[in-house]
Structure 1
Amino acid sequence: MATNGNHVPSSVLRLADIDRTAVESLLTHHGLTLALVADGEAIPGSFWGDDEAGIIGHTVYARGDTPVHSVLHEAGHLIVLPAERRGEVHTDATDSIEEEDAVCYLQIVLGDVLPGAGRDRIMADMDAWGYTFRLGSARAWFDHDAENARTWLIEHGLLNQAGEPV
């Protein structure tokens, strides 16, 4: 249940702030590619525009100033889709509330895979960016209201029983 308030806080973790090869490795593990866009150029497949990540097919597009949480969110949209549906995606991956919840949960746990990121930072950045949750914060949602998303990800083989990404 996230929406983007289209805020542009400078304090969020940006792709240029972490090891890009770790992001590339994470995406490759899921059959995806990271395509870097030159600074100042429009990001292909970006739903929100500005510095937000974009998706087209099996590719996540981002610039150095793209927030890490945005890269993980858009990658999550592709990860939750069966591989045969990914090729059809351009900019907007789903209107399914279940999938959107699963993507928000997945982006949080994938933060732990990236050195220099971590789930706590991803949740703080989601809040700073303007995601909205019924319980008021990403942390409260994740800890107390996201069991359906966790279960969905486990049932679809994207998390193990311990809630870790596979």
Structure 2
Amino acid sequence: MPSPTAPHSESSDLAATVMRVGQIGFDAPAALLARFDLQLQRVPAGEAIPGSFWGDEEAGIIGNTVYARDDTPVHSLLHEAGHLIVLPAERRLRVHTDATDSIEEEDATCYLQIVLADQLPGVGRERLMTDMDAWGYSFRLGSTRAWFERDAGEAREFLQARGLIPATP
């Protein structure tokens, strides 16, 4: 199970190398989120990101909107979007900053952000898992990849039961 942790330390060399939204642009992520009836709102550089749980450059969520700046890590945008995607539509509208206190939803969100990365040109799950590790996501098996491949069965079943990912044959 993933363990939510505070984001990277600003001095971390690895965290400095994570892919940022400004590197891939806002068009592809906005189109991806729109498929789930979500909006992506670009926040100007230097402004606080509305609905950001961690602050700094971390993505934020309010209702059906995900907020990000050019310096927002792609994994953060996908994680916050994932929180909204796993929620029923009627719960989304009540979300402001903190989407859940459910371990089941947190696990599903982490799994979904990895799957969604494959739908963003130039990102993909390999890069996203590397960035998640660099940023400080904490998993029982020691890495994002190990969790995703060997310990995320319940998260996968949660998403499959809701039709968010295809059932595995």
The bucket for the TM-score relative to the shorter chain is over 0.9
- Partners of 2:156 and 2:44 lie apart in 1 by 35
* Partners of 2:6 and 2:54 within 8 A in 1: no
TM-score normalized by structure 2?
A: 0.94
**Offset, 1:84:** 1.1
- 1:84 maps to 2:84: no
Percent of aligned pairs sharing the same letter: 64
The count of residues paired between Structure 1 and Structure 2 equals 163
The secondary structure found in structure 1 opposite 2:160 is helix
Question: What does residue range 11-160 of structure 1 map to in structure 2 within 5 Å?
Answer: 11-160=17-166
Take 1:81 and 1:22, find their aligned partners in 2: how far apart are those partners? 22
Q: 2:3 is matched with which residue?
A: 2
When normalised by structure 1's length, the TM-score is 0.95
After TM superposition, where is structure 1 displaced by more than 6 Å over at least 4 residues in a row?
A: none
Superposition RMSD in Å? 1.1
Aligned mates of 1:38, 1:19 — CA distance in 2: 13
Q: For structure 1, which runs of at least 5 residues remain unmatched after alignment?
A: none
Can you list the C-alpha shifts for 1:60-80, whole angstroms capped at 9, x where unaligned?
Answer: 000000000000000000000
